[in-house]
Amino acid sequence: MVSSCFRLVLKSVEQFSTFELIEFWTAFCARPSLFVFFEFELNCMIYSLRSVGVSVRALKLTAAEDKVSVNVRQNASLHWTFHINKGETYRILWATSTVDASGTPRMKDVLFSKTEKQATATPSSKMPPRYARRVKILPPATLFIQRVDLSDEGFYICEITTAFRAIRKAINLTVIG
């Protein structure tokens, strides 16, 4: 695919087929270092992707708060909001996470998932038993935890993935005991 993308860059913008545009963008996202010298062509590519109706910047995810504190046995609501262009395919995951030394959240246990075709989020088959019957998703993207205990303390993330991009935001839950 990479060699076909290099050939594609040599074409003029008007000659791109929709399939070639998507193939090029997918390769670019996977290995951006291969295309360092093609900044002009990449700008043309982004313009062309927009002109054929493929959105590359429509995804937005926001955490209402970076930190939430609750007392033991209280309920916790972790709020995220998101924007995805109408008709775009996506997947949303809610999970527990760890944070590495650079501050990047890393997914640990997936709790729920949802796609654009589902009306509600589906519990993960790998959800740890301690969350069973205590967690749910409230629309549009709130993770609700009933009767919080000290073991619930930590980072939770919401991640949205589209055909072209994935973003995640973490919220740190502190339990006061």
What whole-number distance in Å separates Cα of residue 73 and Cα of residue 116?
Answer: 34
Same domain, 35 and 76: no
Rounded Cα distance between 165 and 29, Å, is 8
* CA–CA–CA angle 80, 107, 142 (5° rounding): 20
Judgement on whether residues 127 and 152 belong to the same structural domain of the protein: yes
Q: Which residues contact 137 (CB under 8 A, 6 or more apart)?
A: 94, 112, 114, 120, 121, 143, 144
Q: What is the mean pLDDT of the chain?
A: 78
Could you report the per-residue pLDDT of 102-120, keeping only the tens digit for each? 878 789 999 999 999 999 9
Same-domain pairing of 104 and 136: yes
pTM: 0.67
pLDDT tens digits for range 52-77: 444 444 578 999 999 999 999 999 99
Quick one: 66 and 135 in the same domain? yes
The domain in which residue 79 lies consists of 60-176
The reply to whether 46 and 64 lie within a common domain is no
Total number of domains in the chain: 2
